[in-house]
Structure 1
Amino acid sequence: MPITNVPAFTKIPSRDDPPAEFSADVDSFLSEIPDRALASNQQAQEVNAAAEQVATQAAAVAEASAAFESGVNADRWAAGDYSDGDAVWSPTDGQTYRAKADFTSVLDPAADPANWHNLNPVAQAKDEMTRLALVFAANF
């Protein structure tokens, strides 16, 4: 994303200059201020927009990272109470699942797609995190 460059002043007046040159330099300097102000405002808007994109992408990366970590650190499934978002791995197929809601689980997650979301392959979360990091790096 290109960011507007604020133009430099053509010449900054110096008190050491002769009066006629100083006066002309001041006039030139003052005439350039409005363009610099407009460019500065444009630059600020672009930087703020970029910051919003960074925040959005950082949130997506954090979400992908959390999904990846929860899958890697999942406990072995056992019958019992689970909260929305809990991750477990199935002893029947070795895959990782996330609870869709708060409920009492009596079926192995591999046999209960109504209550469990299959997170596999876990590598997808890592791939998505890598993709988002590359998008972020390319744009900023």
Structure 2
Amino acid sequence: MDTPRLQLPCPHCGATNRLPAARIDDAPNCGKCGGPLLQGQPLELGDDNFDAVVAATALPVLVDFWAPWCGPCRMMAPAFAQAGAQLQGQVLFVKVNSDDNPGLSQRFGIRSIPTLVRLQAGRETSRQSGALPAGAIVALAQRG
């Protein structure tokens, strides 16, 4: 069976990198420029690769279920990215577009967006709906 792979754009040079999901905790670098690929930025996942990444990481995962048409989602996006940069290497920050990934939205019972779901070892440990500032996102991510 093939190892699931992610396609990650480099935030430095824009090159697309194929990364095995099992290496998500290895602080991967770009194959072209050598810069860090994740650098605390949220990882966009969907129905096709979400489970592989969550299963591969030993870190807690904080998932932002959002949609492009949602004003509060767009307003919270910079705070979510800021919290991800602050907790780089401690928590994996993930964004899931609920419109494009109905399977995940249904599985997690997403009824309103934005909704943040914290996972530890694949199990939900906490949840919060509504836009939050960066400090509240950090607190939710660190909550066990």
Same fold (TM over 0.5): no
Higher helix share: 1
- Give the TM interval when normalised to the shorter protein: under 0.3
TM-score w.r.t. length of structure 2: 0.21
Q: Which has the larger radius of gyration?
A: 1
TM-score w.r.t. length of structure 1: 0.22
